[in-house]
Each structure stands twice: as C-alpha cells, then as structure tokens.
Amino acid sequence: MKFKEILVRYGELSTKGRNKKDFINRLRDNVRYSFNDIMPLKIRAERDRMFIEIENDEKLNVLMDRLPHVFGIQSFSPVASCGKDLDEMKALALDILEDYRDAGDITFKVEVHRTDKTFPLNTHELQREMGATILPQFSNFTVQVKKPDVTLRVEVREDAIYMMAQVIQGAGGMPVGSNGKSLLMLSGGIDSPVAGYLMMKRGVRIDAIHFFSPPYTSDNALQKVKELANGLTKFGANVRLHVIPFTELQVAVKDNVPDNMSMTSTRRMMMKVADKVREEVGALGIVTGESLGQVASQTLESLTAINDVTSTPILRPLISADKLDIIKIAMEIGTYETSIQPFEDCCTVFTPASPKTKPRLDKVQHFESFTQFDELIERAVKNRETYIFPQKEVKEDKFTDLL
C-alpha cells in the first residue's frame, strides 16, 4: 500500500481569526463522525491542514469515497511516504505516477518542498533529479511549470519523504455545527432536502421535522422522508427527524376553515408546531424549501400570512432558485431519486381546488379563531416520534436468504 495518510486542506475556515480552533475541532469531530463505521481513525489536526492516517486499502477507499461530501474541506490528497533515500524516492514517484500512464497526453511538473535542510540535495537538485528519472519513463508526459495537469509534490520532512500527485476537490463550505442548529421542514419533495443541504453547507446543524397524516399518507411516504433524512447525514453530521402526528390538526383545519384558505391555515399550523419543536430542541431557526412563486403557498402574500405565527428566523435558501436548478442540486446530492417517489404527503392530501394565492391575514386569523387549535398543537408536539440518523444499517434479513 503506497498511501499512508490523507492530507486535508481546510475550506473557508482558514480566514476565521480567533474561532479557527473551534472550526478545526468541529471538522475533526465531523470527520470522525462521518467515518464512524471504520473507526478507529488517527486524525492529526494542525493549524493549516489535517492528516488522517490510513492503515489499509479498505479504509482508503471509504475515505476517498466519502470525504468529498464532508463540508469544511477545500481539497484533500492521498499522501505516500518513504525513507530519505534517493532510490526509494524515485521508485515511489514512479509507483504513484503509474496511475497516469494511460491517461493520454499530460503536462507535468515536480514540486519540491524541503523542510529538512540537512537533506543532501537542495530543492533544485532534487527537482531535476526526480524529473530526469520520471520523464523518460512516461512517453505521455511533457513538462509544464505553469498550470500542469499533474504536479508531483515531494516534501522532505524531518521524519520521512512525503509525496502526492492527486488533489481532490472537497465539498467546501463550513463544518456542520459551526453555525448553530436549525429545524428543517422536510416534506418529502425535491426542495426541502436541497434546502437542508445548503444550510448544512453553511455549517448549520439540522434537525428535521415531518408532518405525518395517516391514513391519508402512507408508511411509504414516511419511509421516503426517513431515507431523505438519512441521506443528509453524509455531509458530515447526524440528523434527528421529528415525526409529527398531524392528521387531527389537518382534519380540524379542513372542517373549520373555508376551503380556499385551508391551505394557508394548514401551513400556519405546521409553522406553529415547528416553532414549538424548534424551541424544545434548542434550534435557532426554521429552514424551509420554499421558492418564491412555485406554488400558491409560496407567494409573498402567503408567506406573510404563514410567517405571522412566529418571530423565529425562517431561513429559505431556495427562495430565488429556479426549479431546474433545485433539481440539479438534488441530483448531485443524491436525494432526487428518493424525492420523486410518488407518494402522497401531508401537503397534497387535502389540497383545495383553488387555494388563495393572496390570502388576507386578518381573514385567516378570523376563521381560525373559532377553533381551539392550541390544544391540538400541544398534543401533536408532545406525541412526536424522534428518529436519529444515520441509523445502524438494519440489513433486510428476509431478503438476504433469497439472494
């Protein structure tokens, strides 16, 4: 195994003065957290970069596979090392570059960094020596000093020689958890997971809330939401999902509020429930997947009427995004396929024929005033079920036998 560690370069946090240490620690914890299944990992977090030790190929593969999703990482490189011996170095360099032999024409350079000043060859000599060894071996390489396709970086450190050739792009953003916690309203559609993802990218830890209306919505719909919540965990944090039994409230709205305003009222109830849950779990904001003008509940008038129930910051990262752009992100982050499974959700079961796109707040308030919704809200909040993701994967044993 040629690679012994992975070097991780930090993202935006390198600009964060005094909080930097917290950011780095948070990232280290998140990395540990994301690779819970391949523990123990030896992680060394330094001021400018982090090193993850790799003991075997299996771990390397898992890391290479999942590190690109962890927020707060600018880029990373698998690093090989060898003794401070010129022959060993040459052999290792050739070994690393072997991966590029079949990659077509490639521009290339060697970059040497010498921290150990006692090494007999100086930077330029070493650069030339390595280049002269490598180039005759690869007919598809040509040297280019500015912007080469591949840079073999050779670091002469106190303890050993370190080499790397690959720089893999990370997800960027900030380590999840470095910017507090918010409650994500997760419907099961395409938009809300994307909204959650974007907030996580800004370092926000997510709890999710889902409104479940059996028997109008099925276990399939709930299962789908669980999958979405679980899908969000790969960006470097756990996600708690609060499932609210919503049938009672939803039916009460349907029965007591005129049809064309029931949608607005339902959303207001959801917001009230969400705000209570938010408070209980210690989140500071509520995140929604709303995008302006997409549906009747997402006009400015509707948003005003819905927003009226709380003064909590409502974060709407998709407010100005086009549907196609949202779909594109959903595909990239792997939630799209789950989202488009066709199950009824709480927002579609009682959709009125012509909901008001410009509801008047005073009218909505007036119609709601005849019913004791608060009691129902309390009950819904109290009876919620909470799931924590990622769940230990429960293998579907009944199928294993068949396969």
Q: How far is the CB of 217 from another protein (least distance, A)?
A: 12
By CB under 8 A, residue 216 contacts another protein = no
What is the enclosing helix (H) or strand (E) of 313?
A: none
Q: How far apart are CA 214 and CA 223, in angstroms?
A: 13
Stretch that binds another protein, among 48-56, 76-84, 156-164, 216-224 (CB under 8 A): 216-224
CB 89 within 8 A of CB 82: yes
Number of residues interacting with another protein: please give it, by CB under 8 A. Answer: 12
**Which residues, at least 6 apart from 120, have a Cβ–Cβ distance to it below 8 Å?**
none
Subset of residues 86 to 105 that bind another protein, contact rule: CB under 8 A? 102
| Torsions phi, psi for 299 (to 5 deg) | -90, 165
CB 229 within 8 A of CB 262: no
By CB under 8 A, residue 324 contacts another protein = no
Q: How far apart are CA 364 and CA 387, in angstroms?
A: 34
**Which residues, at least 6 apart from 377, have a Cβ–Cβ distance to it below 8 Å?**
249, 269, 272, 273, 276
By CB under 8 A, residue 218 contacts another protein = yes
Subset of residues 325 to 364 that bind another protein, contact rule: CB under 8 A? 342-343
Looking at the Cβ atoms of 51 and 216, the one nearer to another protein is 216
By CB under 8 A, residue 402 contacts another protein = yes
**Which residues, at least 6 apart from 325, have a Cβ–Cβ distance to it below 8 Å?**
none
By CB under 8 A, residue 215 contacts another protein = no
By CB under 8 A, residue 403 contacts another protein = yes
Q: How far is the CB of 347 from another protein (least distance, A)?
A: 17
Looking at the Cβ atoms of 127 and 223, the one nearer to another protein is 223
By CB under 8 A, residue 220 contacts another protein = yes
Stretch that binds another protein, among 124-132, 323-331, 348-356, 394-402 (CB under 8 A): 394-402
Helix, strand, coil share of the chain (percent; to 5) = 45, 20, 35
By CB under 8 A, residue 136 contacts another protein = no
Would you say the C-alpha torsion 251, 257, 261, 266 has a positive or negative sign? negative
By CB under 8 A, residue 85 contacts another protein = no
Interface map 236-275 toward another protein (x if CB under 8 A): ----------------------------------------
Q: How far is the CB of 218 from another protein (least distance, A)?
A: 8
CB 265 within 8 A of CB 369: no
Q: How far is the CB of 340 from another protein (least distance, A)?
A: 12
Looking at the Cβ atoms of 48 and 102, the one nearer to another protein is 102
Interface map 100-129 toward another protein (x if CB under 8 A): --x---------------------------
**58-67 contacts, C-beta under 8 A, 24 or more apart:** 60/1, 60/3, 60/6, 62/35, 62/37, 62/38, 63/6, 63/35, 63/38, 64/6, 64/168, 66/34, 66/35, 66/234, 67/6, 67/8, 67/31, 67/168, 67/170
Half-sphere exposure of 321 (CA within 13 A, CB side): 21
Q: How far is the CB of 385 from another protein (least distance, A)?
A: 19
- Which spans of this chain sit near another protein (rule: CB under 8 A)? 102, 218-220, 223, 342-343, 396, 399, 401-403
